[in-house]
Structure 1
């Protein structure tokens, strides 16, 4: 067990040390403000304060972990090996940066509480983040810093045996609408047909009637394919189904349709099933509660995980609503149009509420690539290259690679040509023991 001496044991300090030491490195950690207890400890130990006590392993602390609320923080990004860091703390520290304060800044999403420009959906965008601006969005810097910390500790305590962690994958299948043409209802079918006619989309018109006449397979119905992949994988997939009312933003299937209910139950026999929270439920706890009740009635067990429609997050309200309804995990932390690490980590972490200064029980499972972010790369070769690059970043720190693909991404649509190959690259990366 790692013992940390500090002048004050704050909620922020406890939170970030537990993430870096326990979740990333697998080391138990405890704290003390008593010098005598620190001296008597006969295993690995360090001090985290303004001045070293003696010749111990010492990391000079930034004030951030001992503050409350939000303050104007000066962030100066500097190179550190092949990565970046901030909160430089001088040469007397065993590590030249306060990685704990820097990690807290990223994990708590401190910058998302500060004034920023939102996009048309009210989302915090990648371009507003310090990671994007300083070109380290593509790296899981929190995990990289954790392993640098481990190396420094190992030099000081060569006899201590550090646990090992292995790379894993978490494929997410997002299902805003299970079918392109099936289960649309009479009015939507008529409306869609008229649109196809007036827009001269005769191929779509032909496909629509072939599907409705049961002569052709619905293009969005890729569930058999994905379930077969699930059967071949040692990692469990998670499907997120939209059950919200039809609206401008959400155009899913009728939740009362027996075929749709049967599909969700069938998928749940092989994979995890979560709720894709509708756009209007994101900020309305009553609507969210109704959707949660609906999916629990279908899967016949408490809902464990959710994703927000359009990957929209309003911190801290969005996460407080999930906590209020006892939802345990969320898979929204990521960027729709950019590949990378929104919170700087590829290790799931607990949500820290900066307003209340508490660690909450909600586990945040950040995703690192969504299918839409790969569309900006024109050729399949380029898509494979950037996908393999981000996978390798996660592998180097033995993290969890989380991808979000939609059910229609794996269809035979021209727009999504080659995406089955990309999905297979992700699956194969989890099977390789390199």
Structure 2
């Protein structure tokens, strides 16, 4: 069993990050103790002379600096050359000036100038998003303001890289250690913003939308498919271009996957929060169909819920209520915030208080990438209260809009882009989390790329 000797400061934060990295990610048993020291020392129970000594920076910040701009990493970041690793690691927190010395895995004592635990804590808790006041027009933290984007590692799961470095150092010192096996997962989810295009739409509205596809979005195929709904009765939805649920589920079933469908249960921003109500017969029947085919139903909290725990709780109650009426019972409930509107740590706390088990909001709204620095699911932490939560985060890696809205992108280019992120996740036996709206399968291009993601990414 490992012994982790830490400084006295911020015990809850230290216990959290040790649990995530060592227990959750690596599956290694350990004991943690707090002493008057300024670094972190890891030893093995039983008197071995071998030791791993890690720098400690972030979690030793003073109370006056904590969650303030002065506690953010100094830029430009240093890079750490690790013996046997092809690329250098960006050092979010550590000791030394750029470039840092090469880290050699020499026994019996390894001194690592990277604050590995603090750097992972920074990424997983979204520390910078609490400190920064930068927001876009939807009140979201812009990816271009993130340290990962500005330092060029948004496209790689830096926390997974740090975890692999930690394992390499531990294994070098104590070869008898074992880590738990992991298996990659492909997690496919669908935000149901508009289940049916023609629902509650007038012929004039359908015509305007179709015209917009031609003039603004240059999508003639989508325009034609939508225009065909003019004059159709709402109850006849077989030809509706957004009614792709049967096709989606069929592809998932053939690939041995379970799709998740996240529903908006109430409107807090008319015109933005979909075009349906949970007591619509069409939605009732759709939920039953999804459940009976073995797929998952989840929550897609409406536009103005991200800072309203009461509204999140209300909307989750409405979802559970409709599920009960449909005879749907699930052991686990999760979902994703509408428009990816999320604020650290308030939205997480709202989900925790509502009784949800997992969230999958944390991806970038404007580009693919590793916003949390990891492709592993993990328990979350409230930076304001200093408490670990039961809620788990499933980081969102790719949303189809961030790829397909690239001007003039081809099928091969879109598939290659998505494939790069998939392979990064597989490299660490992680989870590739893909969001694809049911309403974004109108064009042949969209359907071909999606089908290839399900069938060819293996």
Fold agreement, TM-score > 0.5: yes
Paired position in structure 2 for 1:410: 441
**Residue 362 (1) aligns with residue 401 (2):** no
Q: Which deviates the most, 77-86 or 102-111?
A: 77-86
**Residue 84 (1) aligns with residue 96 (2):** no
Instruction: Give the Å deviation of 1:65.
Output: 5.4
- TM score, norm. by length of structure 1: 0.86
Instruction: Give the Å deviation of 1:322.
Output: 1.4
Q: Which deviates the most, 272-281 or 6-15?
A: 6-15
**Residue 393 (1) aligns with residue 394 (2):** no
Instruction: Give the Å deviation of 1:105.
Output: 0.8
The equivalent position to 1:291 in structure 2, one of 294, 315, 318, is 315
Q: Contact conserved, 1:276 with 1:309, CA < 8 A, in 2?
A: yes
The equivalent position to 2:183 in structure 1, one of 132, 147, 166, is 166
Paired position in structure 2 for 1:20: 21
Residues paired across the two proteins, number: 413
Instruction: Give the Å deviation of 1:237.
Output: 2.1
Q: Contact conserved, 1:334 with 1:341, CA < 8 A, in 2?
A: yes
Q: Which deviates the most, 88-97 or 73-82?
A: 88-97
**Residue 262 (1) aligns with residue 271 (2):** no
Paired position in structure 2 for 1:59: 54
**Residue 250 (1) aligns with residue 276 (2):** no
Q: 3-state SS of the aligned residue for 2:21?
A: helix
- Determine the C-alpha separation between the residues in 2 that align with 1:291 and 1:215: 26
Instruction: Give the Å deviation of 1:89.
Output: 3.1
Q: Contact conserved, 1:285 with 1:321, CA < 8 A, in 2?
A: yes
Structure 2: tracts of 5 or more residues without a match: 37-41, 102-108, 215-222
Q: Which deviates the most, 396-405 or 112-121?
A: 112-121
Structure having the higher helix fraction is 1
Paired position in structure 1 for 2:453: 425
* CA deviation string 1:172-221 (max 9, x = no partner): 1111111111x32xxx3255156469979784433333575849611001
Instruction: Give the Å deviation of 1:308.
Output: 0.7
**Residue 118 (1) aligns with residue 135 (2):** yes
Instruction: Give the Å deviation of 1:373.
Output: 0.7
**Residue 42 (1) aligns with residue 43 (2):** no
**Residue 189 (1) aligns with residue 202 (2):** yes
- Determine the C-alpha separation between the residues in 1 that align with 2:312 and 2:43: 52
**Residue 330 (1) aligns with residue 359 (2):** yes
- Determine the C-alpha separation between the residues in 2 that align with 1:101 and 1:197: 51
The equivalent position to 1:180 in structure 2, one of 197, 220, 242, is 197
Q: 3-state SS of the aligned residue for 1:94?
A: strand
**Residue 143 (1) aligns with residue 143 (2):** no
- Determine the C-alpha separation between the residues in 2 that align with 1:289 and 1:21: 33
- TM score, norm. by length of structure 2: 0.82
Paired position in structure 1 for 2:297: 273
Q: 3-state SS of the aligned residue for 2:111?
A: coil
